[in-house]
């Protein structure tokens, strides 16, 4: 099985692993295409009559995984030449430029090995790759979608190849591209190599103890239980017994410690079991990466900021709080087109952080934070090439970041620095990031490491009105 085989919605062939998961409802009328609706990996493909497929990749796939063209088993991979042009244009991008350069280097290595790439060259496990220079005639497309953009050029290649009788699938991380392809009758699929299997892990589980065991826990503040074996390190525990309840945290294989519910960070007390466990993790300097998930209003940002103030002002463990926030176009204008210098451009984004801080600390503390320059709010574009030492780093709105960008952020952490990731997978602004990739993939990758912990906060701390509307939005009742 190749490394990027993922889940499938197809249930007709149990026991097989599929290369990609189809995102289109468009059904082909060709009998040959119907017989190969899902293509297996080379290891799982035992049917000698199974047709090979042609995968047309767009730029978003290579930016999420620069080695993607090696992962399509025995099938054919086609790169429209405009994809290389787009990669070239992204080489110096502060967030994704590294991945564009990596993809171009892999292509150059293949060029050196094979001499040319405009004909199929062998890659991966018996598959082929070629850069498509022809089949760019856009007259094959309906007039309404025949534009002068790069999406049109990629769709033209796919449609012309399909017209030649090939079993074509467009693979893209870009949701609008998949919708366009499906509207043309092409099969469109999302690239899922970096997606995590949805384990539903919240970072917290329950543990049942006897009355004597919970009494011993309160006395010694540590315990051991067979039921806790196999749980990831730093998993939070909600402990029950006939003599009462407690909170705990896994510290080793079967070992756990008591989590005190009366602990606070910079005057902020936990109001729920999840928040109290999060406070315990945020105040533990040995846990270098803490992930705080949860829907809007659960206190993620407030907890992270108070933990930062506690570490910088009270315990003096770090020297500065740096909040990184992703930037997206506002009203169609990129940040560079907004008026003013960097501080003025960042105003709307930075103000959200200061609003949150102002809701949990006094005016005197706010003045001290501003005067001493303790808190800095920056766009993620400023992290490339930096090594962040003695910093308490908060990555806000992490659900909108691609997996590779998140890993880049984590790689920037220097000596005596910690990073807190706050996220709500239900509020993604980046159309290239799905619910199960990006931050979800990073959590699944790091789960169980001593330096990492994750908690999903459940209870909303906002007004009843805000909690109601958030719940309705997530349930799709107001969409």
CATH 3.40.50.1010 in the chain, residue ranges: 21-190
- Tokens 């908060």 identify what position? 394
pTM of the predicted model as reported, rounded to 2 decimal places: 0.70
Which residue spans of the chain are classified as CATH 3.40.50.300? Answer: 283-474
Query: What span, in angstroms and rounded, lies between the C-alpha atoms of 12 and 5?
Result: 17
Give residue 346's pLDDT band: very low, low, confident or very high (50, 70, 90). Answer: low
State which fold the 283-474 domain adopts.
Rossmann fold (3.40.50)
Q: What is the mean pLDDT of residues 264-271?
A: 92
Quick one: tokens of 355?
């609003």
Question: For 359-381, what is each residue's pLDDT tens digit?
Answer: 888 889 899 998 999 999 888 77
Average pLDDT in the 303-313 region?
95
In terms of CATH architecture, what is 194-259?
Roll (2.30)
| 62 φ, ψ (degrees, to nearest 5) | -75, -25
21-190 falls under which CATH superfamily?
5'-nuclease (3.40.50.1010)
CB neighbours of 74 closer than 8 A, spacing ≥ 6? 42, 45, 52, 125, 126, 127
End-to-end CA separation in angstroms for the chain: 39
The mean of the pLDDT values for the chain is 82
Q: What is the mean pLDDT of the segment spanning 392-421? A: 90
Give the orientation angle of helix 273-282 with respect to helix 300-309, to 10 degrees. Answer: 30
| Residue range 14-66, pLDDT digits in tens | 333 333 433 333 333 333 333 333 332 333 333 434 478 999 999 999 998 99
13, 33 Cβ separation under 8 angstroms: no
- For 313-338, the DSSP string reads IIS-S-SEEEEEE----BTTB-GGGS
| pLDDT higher at 130 or 23 | 130
| pLDDT above 80 for 328 | no
The separation between CA 442 and the C-alpha centre of its own chain, rounded to angstroms, equals 6
Task: Decide if 57 contacts 167 (C-beta within 8 A).
Answer: no
Q: What is each CA distance from 249 to 215, 235, 296, 310, in whole angstroms?
A: 16, 6, 25, 21
For the chain, where do the domains classified as CATH 2.30.130 start and end?
194-259
Distance CA 56, CA 168 (A): 7
In what order do the strands lie in the sheet containing 244-250?
204-208, 236-241, 244-250, 255-259, 222-224
Token reading at 415: 């000596």
- Quick one: pLDDT at residue 72? 92
Average pLDDT rounded to a whole number, residues 462-471? 71
- Measured between alpha carbons, how far is 218 from 448 in angstroms, rounded to an integer? 25
- Residues 383, 396: Cα–Cα separation, whole Å: 14
Here the tokens at position 305 are 């900021």
């Amino acid at each position: 099985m190749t490394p990027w085989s993922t889940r499938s919605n197809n249930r007709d062939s149990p026991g097989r692993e599929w290369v990609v998961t189809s995102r289109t409802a468009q059904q082909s009328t060709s009998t040959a295409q119907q017989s190969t609706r899902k293509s297996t990996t080379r290891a799982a493909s035992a049917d000698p009559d199974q047709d090979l497929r042609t995968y047309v990749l767009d730029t978003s796939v290579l930016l999420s995984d620069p080695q993607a063209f090696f992962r399509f088993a025995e099938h054919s991979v086609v790169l429209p030449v405009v994809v290389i042009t787009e990669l070239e244009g992204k080489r110096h991008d502060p967030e994704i430029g590294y991945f564009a350069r990596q993809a171009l280097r892999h292509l150059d290595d293949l060029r050196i090995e094979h001499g040319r790439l405009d004909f199929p060259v062998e890659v991966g496990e018996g598959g082929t790759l070629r850069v498509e220079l022809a089949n760019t005639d856009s007259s094959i497309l309906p007039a309404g979608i025949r534009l002068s953009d790069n999406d049109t050029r990629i769709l033209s290649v796919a449609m012309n190849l399909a017209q030649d009788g090939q079993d074509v699938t467009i693979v893209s991380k870009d949701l609008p591209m998949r919708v366009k392809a499906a509207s043309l009758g092409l099969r469109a699929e999302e690239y899922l190599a970096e997606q995590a299997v949805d384990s539903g892990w919240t970072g917290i589980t329950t543990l049942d103890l006897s009355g004597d065991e919970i009494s011993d826990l309160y006395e010694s503040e540590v315990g051991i239980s067979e039921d806790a074996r196999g749980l990831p390190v730093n998993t939070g525990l909600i402990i029950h017994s006939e003599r009462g309840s407690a909170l705990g945290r896994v510290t080793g294989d079967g070992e756990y410690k008591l989590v005190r519910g009366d602990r606070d960070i910079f005057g902020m007390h936990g109001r729920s079991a999840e928040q109290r466990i999060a406070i315990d993790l945020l105040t533990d300097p040995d846990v270098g990466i803490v992930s705080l998930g949860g829907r809007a209003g659960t206190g993620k940002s407030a907890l992270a900021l108070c933990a930062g103030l506690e570490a910088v002002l009270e315990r003096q463990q770090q020297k500065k709080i740096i909040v990184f926030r992703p930037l997206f176009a506002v009203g169609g204008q990129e940040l560079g087109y907004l008026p003013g210098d960097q501080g003025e451009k960042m105003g709307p984004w930075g103000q959200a952080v200061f609003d949150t801080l102002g809701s949990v600390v006094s005016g005197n503390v706010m003045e001290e934070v501003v005067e001493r320059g303790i808190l800095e709010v920056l766009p993620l574009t400023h992290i490339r090439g930096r090594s962040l030492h003695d910093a308490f780093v908060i990555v806000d709105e992490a659900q909108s970041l691609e997996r590779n960008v998140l890993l880049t952020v984590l790689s920037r952490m220097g000596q005596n620095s910690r990073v807190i990731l706050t996220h709500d997978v239900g509020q993604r602004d980046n159309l290239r990031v799905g619910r199960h990739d990006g931050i979800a993939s990073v959590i699944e990758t790091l789960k169980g490491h001593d330096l990492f912990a994750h908690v999903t906060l459940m209870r909303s701390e906002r007004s009843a009105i805000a909690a109601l509307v958030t719940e309705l939005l997530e349930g799709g009742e107001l969409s």
